[in-house]
Amino acid sequence: MDNILVIGAAGQIGSELVAELRTIYGNAHVYATDIKQAPPDILEGGPFQILDVMDDKQLIHFIIRHKISQVYHLAAVLSGNAEKLPTQAWRINMDSLMNILEVAKMVEEVKKVFWPSSIAVFGPTTPRHETPQRTVMDPVTVYGISKLAGERWCDYYFKKFGVDVRSLRYPGLISYKTEPGGGTTDYAVEIYFEAVRQGKYECFLTEATALPVLFMPDAITATINLMEADRSSLTVHSSYNLGGMSVTPGEIAVEIRKHIPEFAISYKPDFRQAIADTWPHSVDDSKAREDWGFAQTYDLEKMTGIMLKEIREKLKT
């Protein structure tokens, strides 16, 4: 039986991934860790420990002590926050990945590693529509540069040392359980929370800014399916494109108004507009579909209905 370590378990992806992994592998086999306290369901549902992935000694002890065979390393400084603290963000994003890759190289019991990349690896001269798997990559943000460098390291550790590291270029992820923090696509989560809380939202991107987004259940399924795929079927060892749906703030607002007719949106672009302007509008994820069967099941309409219903429930309690 696999023992799984999730780093960044209290975050937007981690809090949902841990729950799903515990359903599949059993509560006792999924070790949730973070540098901050996790939400009650993670704490009560199985083992949780405060762990700093930057501390390589603590990390290797943890992995050996708990006989960890799979690692999901989700901790990162996202695009908006990384622009405020460039050198710290670079250090955190890169050193943490290097610690994980080194442990996976050294400890034979570690069979697989998951590390998320992002659409941020693309840049202003990358084709913006249906961005191909292999294309120009010239990121101009610290976050994007760190993700692109990370992808190259993942590919290097796979080819040089046989480390089975798997990765997805996540688009903006939309969820209601745990709100994201410090990203450019965060608007697409905030908009739903503010629609329910206040009936209005001031968006930090313009009305027509198109970015790819994906509903969290599809992202969780994709992540686990990639990790469970037969190694021989995988042809990309840097990171797989994951498209989702291409949406603008204006289009989400129209969809929200079908449920909350009085919803008002205004636009006040800030520094994150310049980041979004260098990212793809839509992404070609045919390689992920071919190699390990990626499939998206939620569209904007279905996602909006669920987001508003779940946020209403959540804010009641």
Write out the catalytic residue numbers. Answer: 143
> Residues 53, 91: contact at Cβ < 8 Å?
no
Q: How distant, in Å, are the alpha carbons of 104, 241, 276 from that of 208?
A: 43, 23, 11
Binding site for ligand AKB (CB under 6 A): 78-79, 118-120, 143, 170, 172, 183-185
Beta carbon of residue 228, minimum distance to ligand AKB (angstroms, whole number): 23
Beta strand 168-170 with 117-118 is parallel
Q: Which residue sits closest to ligand AKB, CB atoms considered?
A: 183
* Residue placing its CB nearer to ligand AKB in the complex, 14 or 46: 14
Residues present in the chain in total: 317
* Residue placing its CB nearer to ligand AKB in the complex, 33 or 184: 184
Beta carbon of residue 16, minimum distance to ligand AKB (angstroms, whole number): 14
Beta carbon of residue 216, minimum distance to ligand AKB (angstroms, whole number): 12
User: Please, which residues have CB within 8 angstroms of residue 215's CB and are 6 or more apart in sequence?
Assistant: 173, 174, 175, 244, 298, 302, 303, 306
* Residue placing its CB nearer to ligand AKB in the complex, 99 or 185: 185
* Residue placing its CB nearer to ligand AKB in the complex, 70 or 93: 93
**Phi–psi pair at 151, nearest 5 degrees:** -60, -40
* Residue placing its CB nearer to ligand AKB in the complex, 111 or 281: 281
> Residues 184, 133: contact at Cβ < 8 Å?
no
* Residue placing its CB nearer to ligand AKB in the complex, 79 or 167: 79
Beta carbon of residue 170, minimum distance to ligand AKB (angstroms, whole number): 6
Query: How open is the CA angle 47-48-52, to the nearest 5 degrees?
Result: 140
Tokens found for residue 120? 């941020």
Beta carbon of residue 78, minimum distance to ligand AKB (angstroms, whole number): 4
Beta carbon of residue 271, minimum distance to ligand AKB (angstroms, whole number): 13
Other beta carbons within 10 angstroms of residue 269's beta carbon come to: 15
**E strand residue ranges, the chain:** 4-7, 30-34, 48-50, 70-73, 112-114, 117-118, 165-166, 168-170, 172-174, 200-203, 211-215, 240-241, 245-247, 264-267
Q: How distant, in Å, are the alpha carbons of 133, 182, 257, 270 from that of 308?
A: 33, 22, 11, 26
User: Please, which residues have CB within 8 angstroms of residue 200's CB and are 6 or more apart in sequence?
Assistant: 194, 263, 264, 265, 266
